[in-house]
Chains A and B, each alone.
Chain A
Amino acid sequence: MSTETKPDIDIDRSVGDFRYEMDYAFDAGVGLTEATIDYISDVKGDPDWVRAFRKEGYRKFLEKPMPTHWATKDLESIVFENIRYYLSQGQVPKRTWDEVPDDIKRTFERLGIPEQERKFLSGVEAQFDSEAAYSNIKAAVGEQGVIFVGSSEGLKEHPEIFKKWFGKVIPSGDNKFSALNSAVFSGGSFIYVPPGVKVKHPLQAYFRINAQNFGQFERTLIIVDEGAELTYMEGCTAPKFETATLHSAVVELVAMKGAKIQYITVQNWSSNVFNLVTKRGIAHEDAEVKWIDCNIGSRLTMKYPGVVMKGKGARGEVVSIALAGDGQHQDTGAKMIHAADNTTSNIISKSISLGTGRSTYRGMVHVPKHLKGCKNNTECDALLINSHSRTDTYPAISVRGQGNAVQHEASVSQISAEQIFYMQQRGLSEAAAMSLAVNGFVNDLVQQFPMEYSVELKRLIDLEMEGSVG
């Protein structure tokens, strides 16, 4: 039997691949100059410190070279002059779906967002290109003092909390794309959970790119105060275009003493999207930051969620699933920075490469010499479906000092022709057998997603697999 395939690039993304024509009320035009930034600042009514922050980000963006000395040369295919940096229908999100303009609302209805909100969420923010079109938190959650608004509203209405942490977890000059985001950011969420409040149901944001040659640069800042708990989920889609689209977000998380944050991403980008995202959390004493990340689709994803364990006993965790379809490159991993005694980090990464897909794992674990009682566990497993599928692993582990423990396991496996034959002998078609094996490979991680998402994940994996077995 040949597991050689004829990968079908036109995978049916029945969920995300549609688009309605739009007339945008606000359009920063094509290309990036200081004037673009002023336009964005003017339209959004930025305070002066934000305008200055943007300009500084822009300067750093220009200074920093593309990181092609370690990352893929495909980054050079991004033509920054051809991108549109700001498109919106207005800057103030609506609080009810009825108020959301019809042309935007139908997109989210088709994606099932209002329905999910009713069913199992504490609040939803829905971003359409540059701005949130809808943002609402359930009354009961709001009454507990939880703030859940867009980043623009957050920086204006809650500067005392916002300013303290904004750009502190991820400085604008962290990398070229965090600098770009700092210059042109728009949208994203600002969340604050007061001490001791445990938000029962997840808050969710949905990011939708609708326009061609567009760059989406949302900025999310989440602060969970002492002993509080939050689960946040984000979903992302875009229709398929001929030309490249850029998504470059910055997400900063702050877990105060004893707080817990769980940040869940299920992205299903179309294969023209460059997805270059910087995500990092700070965990104070006995706090826990956990990233659960599922990367499906995109042309190139570069994303290494990190946790800085700043207080004693802090815990960091990254659980990630990446599926690199034909022609796609998932360059993902994790960064664990141990900065206090008795901190614990755990990285579990599973990737699947289909067709000419390539998955890369980059993991950084840093434990300095003066610390003791730190532990890291890293497991990364790659599954290759076709003979020309590819995987690479680049672990960078620096552990110094006495009494720190680190454990690293990596594996690369393939679904063998004999496994497929075995499953076919039980009556499963070759494609069904392949799907079942792939779902089995990621099963233990999928269990960690909320039920609604794990069902969706399984469906997305099945969709991706459909085209890959001929």
Chain B
Amino acid sequence: MSANSSSSLSIRDLHASIGDKPILKGLTLDIPKGEVHAIMGKNGAGKSTLAKIMAGHPDYTVTSGDVLLDGESILGLEPDVRARLGLFLAFQYPMEIPGVTIANFIRAALQARLPEGEELEATDYYAKLYAKMDALSVPRNFTSRSVNEGFSGGEKKRCEILQMAMLEPSYAVLDETDSGLDIDALKIVSAGVNALRGPNIGMLVITHYQRLLDYIVPDKVHVMSEGRIIHSGDKDLALKLEAQGYDWVEKEFGESGTRAA
């Protein structure tokens, strides 16, 4: 279990539902700063829902449990407040914002983090933006395109990672970042994520396939089923899941199987 909850993203016995339908049923997970954890699970296990609930999506209701960011509960806070506290979600399906350029969007997001009356310095901003773009192999003309509008799947995901690089969150949740990517795009996006790894960030990588974890090698792998983490292990667990599927783990650790202590 959690070593030091004051520098981790900590989910404690979380129960949440949409309408009357329970989605999370007592999920506990701890992501210390400096580590990369992966959540794997079948479609419908509630993986993406977990990401949205942490970010504060209004469609979901938390019925009990808690989510702590460096020891402070973030439940009840608006999504933008959670974001400014350092939580970043790379969306599985990033939204299009017509007419708003990437440069202006990221700039507005950074501006929102400054105290009232303080203005972002334009030259510093662009210098930093271009440096991050170069590191992610994003062409310069990207900045004048509207956010995600008409983007390919790969461009959308690269745009998410660019935003993450610019906003420098302390915790990042990457929701199915591999979906819709061909192998070349996957390599670029993974390299971008790996470049951001370090002692000041904790990452949670949500994925359906082991493939992504060849490139973003996790410190821990968790298996999610029916709204809970049913089993955890090291990166070899992902390989085992890839080779043998999810049935054995659900049988052994899931609701219907014998619970691990």
Interface, chain A (partner B; CB < 8 A): 1-2, 416-419, 421-430, 432-433, 436-437, 439-444
Contacts and interface: CB of A to CB of B under 8 A. Distances in A.
Contacts of A437: 97, 100
7 contacts: A421-B57, A424-B83, A427-B109, A436-B105, A436-B108, A440-B99, A441-B98
Given A436-B97, A437-B100, A421 B79 contact: yes
A427 B163 CA distance: 11
A426 B58 contact: no
A422 B108 contact: no
A387 to B, nearest CB: 16
Contact of A443 (B99, B106, B167): B99
A425 B108 contact: no
A427 B80 contact: yes
Q: Which interface residue of B88, B91, B112, B167 has the most chain A CB atoms within 10 A?
A: B112
Interface residues of B, number: 30
B99 A442 contact: yes
A422 B80 contact: no
A432 B97 contact: no
Interface of B: 55-59, 78-80, 83-84, 88-89, 91, 94-100, 104-106, 108-109, 112-113, 146, 163, 167
A422 B91 contact: yes
Closest 6 A/B residue pairs (Cβ): A440-B99, A1-B58, A440-B100, A443-B99, A422-B95, A424-B79
A429 B112 contact: yes
B99 A444 contact: yes
Majority SS at the chain A contact face: helix
A419 B93 CA distance: 11
Contacts of A1: 57-59
Q: Which interface residue of B80, B108, B113 has the most chain A CB atoms within 10 A?
A: B80
B99 A428 contact: no
Contact of B78 (A430, A436, A443): A430
Nearest to A433: B80
Nearest to B96: A419
A441 B167 CA distance: 25
B83 A427 contact: yes
Contact of B83 (A417, A426, A430, A440): A426
Contact of B97 (A2, A417, A419, A425): A419
Contact of A427 (B95, B96, B98, B112): B112
Contacts, number: 81
Given A426-B112, A427-B83, A437-B97, 4 more contacts: A416-B95, A422-B91, A426-B109, A440-B99
B58 A428 contact: no
Majority SS at the chain B contact face: mixed
Q: Which interface residue of B55, B79, B83 has the most chain A CB atoms within 10 A?
A: B79
A425 B83 contact: yes
Contacts of B80: 424-430, 433
A150 to B, nearest CB: 39
Contacts of B89: 425
A440 B89 CA distance: 23
Contacts of A426: 80, 83, 105-106, 109, 112, 163, 167
A425 B172 CA distance: 11
Contacts of A430: 78, 80
A443 B108 CA distance: 15
Given A417-B58, A421-B57, A428 B91 contact: no
Given A430-B78, A430-B80, A432-B108, A425 B55 contact: yes
A440 B98 contact: yes
B174 to A, nearest CB: 13
A441 B100 CA distance: 8
A432 B112 CA distance: 9
B112 A2 contact: no
Contact of A440 (B55, B56, B91, B97): B97
Contact of B108 (A2, A416, A421, A428): A428
Given A418-B95, A422-B94, A440-B146, A428 B112 contact: yes
A416 B56 CA distance: 16
Contacts of A432: 108, 112
A10 B82 CA distance: 31
B99 A427 contact: no
Contacts of A417: 58
A416 B59 CA distance: 13
A297 B113 CA distance: 32
A421 B83 CA distance: 11
A430 B79 CA distance: 9
A418 B88 CA distance: 16
B123 to A, nearest CB: 20
Nearest to B166: A426
Contact of B58 (A2, A429, A440, A444): A2
Given A440-B98, A441-B99, A444-B99, A427 B113 contact: yes
Contacts of A419: 95-97
A2 B78 CA distance: 13
A1 B94 CA distance: 18
